[in-house]
Structure 1
């Protein structure tokens, strides 16, 4: 859990003794490649912090295709936020892109955690502000950039993901077809 402790310390002041109280609210979950977390049509009951590995959040569009909306690697959080907080049915799957280890906290335990350690409210506020801001920039980029610009911007600005996430998932995330990504990669790298 040192990964979570170190991540918390980037945003708030927390002692090792305080963190010992925080730890008890989390559970380790080991995932095999392609294994899903909270299943669709269920309420997202957990928030997940990636210790190691890579996760993909996606939905199945009306054509029956997976549409990626988020990736998470080490020190990232992932869940269906609205389902989690509103206790409503989720529209998303979360699947391991590679063997992964995550920390899981239930909604009930997260509420207890925040009551016992109010400074973690600040931590989660900052994390969600960053995530919200990043989502706005992603939307802006989808409207302003060409398909090729979206792809090359992604691989240039997110090399950690570009090296670990299969091209077909990157294509899905960017609203492109795998064939188009192969074509622009071939032109660019030839």
Structure 2
């Protein structure tokens, strides 16, 4: 065998040949960071926003679908992704971070803040000793379906002496979902 024929396939065909740099590991790292940041933002601001879990999951799915609408050729050209990396990038990176940012923007740019005062008709406790939650039943059973409003995790039993008034301050969020600014007992 000729020595030149052995090296024929190991050498690039052009002297100016430069292999493409694989940057997908960097973008996958960014994807994982976006996942945790988006998840954290979603957990924090979901509890302050009056949005159902079903509506919020629709936003997560919509943001993932928007990422899939970008043709794979663009991902390959710009980010050097293969198909499975595109799927991971959209589901684990794009959807969580944009869903979290959706809730943050809704909260940060809330307008029309107004307090609502309600008489407490009944107080109840749920859970075991480690995770006890106190709930209140408001007059006319107002906000009965909104556990984010009527359940209190940090409570002081001394606040409930006499006839306390439950004040909840709500704002209209930027995207139309109401935001809980404050919940407290008022004498």
| TM-score of the aligned structures, taking structure 2 as reference length | 0.22
**Larger gyration radius, structure 1 or structure 2:** 2
TM-score scaled by length of structure 1: 0.22
